[in-house]
Amino acid sequence: MADSSSFGSGWEVFVIFRLFVHDQNEDTYLIPQDAMGNERRFHGLKLEWGFDQFIPLKEFNDASNGYLVGDTCIFGAEVFVKERNIVKGECLSMKKFTSASPYKYVWKIKNFSNLEAKSYESEVFVAGDQKWKIELCPKGYGVASGSHISMYLKLADLSTITRGFKIYVHFTLRIRNQVQSIHNHYKTSVWFRTSIDNWGWHEFIELSYLNKAGNGFLVNDVCIVEAEVSVLGISEAL
């Protein structure tokens, strides 16, 4: 249980869950037998359940078994929650990192030094069947106002997002260095939903550093912004 701060005293949550590790050779999953359908009770004094001996290290490290391939492993969980006899649940669909290849969008901004509005938005692009756009604040936003560029990834169409619908996204935002290959970028993984429809960085890059001649981020008053977006999972309330 990652966060119980919103629960009142005496809370308890009854959970049926399965933990598994992916066999990348056979495209199957290893699931411990005692994880099949057993109900577990979480409460203030018991915040975690699991398995001390999930899989032997020797078996896990043997690449022929498919659990650790190219120094990469894939773990997962299926969780059904029953809280105080009120059934709550969600359907979670996760994609393997290998199949959730990122969509790359390039935004070329001309006459950058003449941008006067507080924020600008890119054209809409589609990644993982969802519509996205980049929001850029050329003079910064909030605590970064006047000192940095602020930049965010945004859901472009909230009309398709219902309450309880969440999108798990891994994304990178980047300002290209047009002279060298030392780009300025940040990346993260986050759940998007109706209440959190954008995510990014207030202090993406210092204005003085961006504007300095020879640094390569502004060439002929052109700034090149990129987004790489991978949708790794979709969760819908039942």
Give the span between the Cα atoms of 170 and 173, in whole angstroms: 10
> Residues 76-96: pLDDT tens digits?
888 888 765 444 556 677 765
Range in 20-34, 92-106, 139-153 the model is least confident about: 92-106
Binning pLDDT at 50, 70 and 90, where does residue 183 land?
very high
- Per-residue pLDDT at 86: 44
Give the span between the Cα atoms of 229 and 222, in whole angstroms: 23
Model pTM score: 0.62
Give the span between the Cα atoms of 123 and 199, in whole angstroms: 17
- Per-residue pLDDT at 201: 96
**184 phi and psi angles, rounded to 5 deg:** -100, 115
Which is higher by pLDDT, 94 or 53?
53
> Average pLDDT over the chain, rounded to whole?
87
